[in-house]
Amino acid sequence: MQHVAAMYAGVVAPPLIIGAAVGLTGGQLSLLISASLFTAGLATLLQTLGVWRFGARLPLVNGVTFANVAPVMAIVSQHGSQNALGVVYGATLIGAALIVLAAPFFSRLTRFFPPLVTGTVITLIGISLLPVAIQWISNQQDSADGHGILLAALTLLAVLAFNRFLPGFWSRIALLLGLVAGTLVAWPLGEVDTSTFREAPAFGVASPFHFGTPAFDIAAIISIAIVMLVIMAESTADMLALGEVVGRPTTQRTLADGLRADGVATAVSTVFGGFACTAFAQNVGLVALTRMFSRYVVAACGAVLVLLGLFPVAGGVVALVPQPVLGGAGLVLFGSVAVSGIRTLSTAAFDRPANVTIVAAALGVGIIPIAAPEFYAHFPSAVQTVLDSGISAGCVVAVVLNLVFGSRRERTPATGS
């Protein structure tokens, strides 16, 4: 249950963001959240228990990755809310196949993703998500009202207080506790909408491609494929780090098996209405904290997630949380993603001026669509789909500049996270 609590806020945030962007409400939004929980559980079971050459057989918790959110939002802006999810699912299926096919060879490709590159991209992921938290605080309006700011501020303070004063594991789930506290404060103020909970079916799972039949768009496939390579680099770092924690060195075969599991899990997730899956770094930290190294314990976490996903009312409970409360917690959640990227960047050699320039240029290009969403409006739509995702654009710039200007050290991949 500790692992479930530690990753719960992170796994439900992406479907909340994407669902709102495509106009899902009520029972449909609950079903999308439940689909992400269900497929996260399946992915965790595959990764921990393993089937043939699929699964690292390490205590890894898998879930929906934040890296996918920005390119998905770019696809939504290009294809409209009615058709977007079909295009997303088509591109993600191709991306999943890419992961499975590239898994045996990815150790040779990791030189393209040293800490200088992965740190920049992870930082961009966090920065690109922060505007979502701000929109939640203002209830999607241009300006926030007093109630919204108050609820967001109280939630933020609660998260900070729980993190600072609660011991051990409880401080690690401060975000989840903050969401509960913020919702309890919002309830008597009339800010909690229970219609989503009432409309959610009590039991069930989304039928295959319930939210859209896969459609294939070249620009969307390129955008998602770029992010998939970043996801593979993240998973590789997490598996290497976890191998050190549990005292079992991660071999090339283990890496390949783990990446194959990510690919299969992403494909299955897409079929049932979820999104790309990867290992959750916060659960790697929890394994180190608790010293509970058994993969079967984490497999039990996967089983719990599957059960939660079979009850859409669980997703309805999440959808009860008012947007300003989500926004207050989101400032910390998405900010922590950016901080994780900065921490990765700290391992790069910034005494070389070229490295400073590489990161500065990649961050600058990546922030363009965040600061000016219409900046590429006059470009062809296919180009917009790639460039409107600051993560995809920033990743390409970081990889290319690192290959051209980086030293041999900066072309060496990270060995931990």
Per-residue pLDDT for 94 more than 90?
Answer: yes
Q: Confidence class of residue 91 from pLDDT cuts 50, 70 and 90?
A: very high
pTM given for the model: 0.80
pLDDT at 45: 93
The answer to whether residue 210 sits within a structural domain is yes
The answer to whether residue 251 sits within a structural domain is yes
The answer to whether residue 379 sits within a structural domain is no
Among candidate residues 412, 373, 279, 341, the one with its CA nearest the CA of residue 121: 341
pLDDT at 6: 64
Per-residue pLDDT for 325 more than 60?
Answer: yes
Q: Confidence class of residue 129 from pLDDT cuts 50, 70 and 90?
A: confident
CA dist list (Å): 28 to 192, 199, 402: 18, 9, 43
Which range is least confidently modeled, 10-24, 127-141, 311-325? 311-325
CA 245 to CA 235: how far, in whole Å? 15
pLDDT at 417: 41
What is the domain range of residue 214? 2-111+148-333
The answer to whether residue 120 sits within a structural domain is no
Highest mean pLDDT among 104-108, 134-138, 258-262: 258-262
First-to-final CA distance of the chain: 23
The answer to whether residue 407 sits within a structural domain is no
Per-residue pLDDT for 100 more than 60?
Answer: yes
The answer to whether residue 362 sits within a structural domain is no
Residue partners of 73: CB distance under 8 A and separation at least 6:
17, 18, 21, 389
The answer to whether residue 339 sits within a structural domain is no
Per-residue pLDDT for 339 more than 50?
Answer: yes
Q: Cα 343–346–347 angle (5° rounding)?
A: 110
CA 118 to CA 403: how far, in whole Å? 14
pLDDT at 341: 86
The answer to whether residue 216 sits within a structural domain is yes
Number of domains in the chain: 1
